[in-house]
């Protein structure tokens, strides 16, 4: 399973579960012992590789739109540089946001 959770979320879920169920607590500090154990478990690092495609996916999801040209400012310069302009305003996947990321540095230096 690839899901990552925070230690605090695990501790809170355990605490809530023990408080809301009829779990017999025969060991007097079970919550503190389990909390201590959870704090000793090594942390997991996300394996996301940040590249233009993953960032483009993030932008498309964030803005709820697959076409970067639908936003003021971007629509003024990206169509001039875009290599997939024929797909506008309905690009395949996140190609438009990938074009935005590819050409954004050029826009910053234009007069």
The C-alpha atoms of residue 87 and residue 70 are separated, in whole angstroms, by 13
Q: For residues 6 and 58, what is the distance between their CA atoms, to the nearest angstrom? A: 22
- In this prediction, what percent of the chain has a pLDDT beyond 90? 22
| Gap between the Cα atoms of 72 and 51, Å rounded | 24
Residue 17 has pLDDT above 80, yes or no: no
pTM of the prediction?
0.55
Task: Determine which of 43-47, 79-83, 88-92, 98-102 has the lowest per-residue pLDDT on average.
Answer: 43-47
């Amino acid at each position: 399973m690839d899901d990552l959770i925070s230690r605090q979320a695990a501790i809170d879920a355990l605490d809530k579960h023990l408080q809301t169920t009829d779990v017999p607590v025969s060991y007097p500090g079970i919550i503190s012992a389990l909390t201590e154990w959870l704090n000793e478990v090594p942390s997991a690092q996300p394996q996301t590789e940040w590249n233009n495609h993953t960032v483009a996916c993030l932008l498309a999801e964030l803005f709820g739109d697959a076409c970067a040209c639908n936003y003021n400012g971007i629509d003024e310069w990206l169509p001039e540089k875009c290599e997939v302009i024929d797909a506008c305003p309905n690009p395949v996947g996140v190609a438009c946001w990938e074009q935005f990321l590819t050409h954004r540095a050029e826009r910053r230096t234009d007069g």
